[in-house]
Amino acid sequence: MSDSSSAIGEVTLDSEAMLAQARAQTGLGNFGCESFLPAFECLVASLNAQADLNPLGRLLQYQRILNSLQNRLRMEAWIEQYPEILQEQLAPPVCIVGLTRTGTTMLHRILAADKRFHAPLWYEVRNPAPYMNWQPDEPDQRIVEARAEVAALLDANPEIASIHPMDPTGADEEILLLEHSFYSYVPNSFSHVPDYGQFVAEADNTPAYEYLRRQLQFLQWQKRRRGDSAERWLLKAPHHLHFMSTLLRVFPDIQIVATHRDPVVSIPSTASLYYNLWLTGNPHADKHVVGQEVLDVFSRGTRHTMDVRATADTQFCDVHFEDTVARPRQVIEKIYAFIAMDLTPQALEAMDRHRDENRRSDRPAHAYTLSEYNYTEKGIRSRFADYCARFID
């Protein structure tokens, strides 16, 4: 891992100062609904008190927080200028949800090859609000910045490339949109912020999901101005496991594609991803702390979604990782039947082309062991006993 921390100056993580900085840099003053403020302030406090960040880590968190604040300001300015944005009608979304490392990214990007879907792109979820001089027919500065950010992340820790494919203009997950509401587990994936994680877990996340709907309207308006049209939104985020009841309440007609894989495989792989992200800001990150946090958060989220399914099971279509890898055509056909959408030859051809151009063997191998993260097969299975009984065993 590259170590450039010594050349990085200190930044101050101060909530009032960052709010003022965002206003000063954009020349704008309206952050929208103030429901984000308690979560924002808790995040800043937790980063200062618990994350043990080095100068690089503090800079990265400062930049992400400031970026979210600036996007909030720009989005409200665009809506003030074009109030019809909030009249955009969102067709019932299709959303892929499962434990991380269960093929959600692979399946999302395969299906997104069908251009009848709107999928959020990485540069859009990182910066949903264009700069105020944005023109739909001109080069987008957000793409330039996204490519630079991906390059910087991989330079800080090249191991990330073996764990999660990063494509600045590829389909990606809307948890990065939720990050702008300050109710998300994105900060927890980058650093040890348990107080913030507990705050998000216990808070009413309805404002975050209402803000997500507003962001999707904004992105759909942008896509239409670029000449892009689609029939449905195609979303994806393991994060929704933890707040499935809220997702279904805010998007009552959403259809969920639930991905499954043995948690004995997916949980240690998730811990490895988190650990390598933590390392970018804290070279002393503790694998056992990471492992316990991942196990606690995802076992709780899985339990929540199983409880929700007791009364909403018809909104879910179950697919397994092994089938997505070995029998992708059958999985795709099952999903299209579930969402009542024609599977056209053009869509199948585009999906096959995407799979040929993005094979897992083209990326470095991802190596980890259970014991590194203080896991045992028995211990993981005991935390996911009901889930395994229904979907794995």
Q: What is the pLDDT of residue 164?
A: 58
Examine the pLDDT at 259 and tell me if it is beyond 90.
Answer: yes
Bridge partners, 94 (sequence order): 234, 255
In what side-by-side order are the strands of the sheet with 94-98?
A: 117-118, 232-236, 94-98, 255-260, 316-320
What residue segments make up the domains of the chain, in order of their start?
Answer: 5-391
Average pLDDT rounded to a whole number, residues 2-22: 80
C-beta neighbour count of 187 within 10 angstroms: 23
Q: What are the backbone dihedrals phi and psi of residue 319, each rounded to the nearest 5 degrees, phi first?
A: -135, 150
Residues 5-391: name the CATH superfamily. P-loop containing nucleotide triphosphate hydrolases (3.40.50.300)
Q: Give per-residue pLDDT as tens, 106-156.
A: 999 999 999 999 999 999 999 999 999 999 999 999 999 999 988 887 776
Read off the pTM: 0.93
Confidence band (pLDDT; 50, 70, 90) for 9? confident
Confidence of residue 4 (pLDDT cuts 50, 70, 90): very low
Residue 337 CB neighbour total at 10 angstroms? 11
Which tens digits make up the pLDDT trace of 145-189?
999 988 887 776 666 655 556 788 999 999 999 999 999 999 999
Q: Return mean pLDDT, the chain.
A: 93
> Predicted confidence band at 366 (pLDDT cuts at 50, 70, 90)?
low
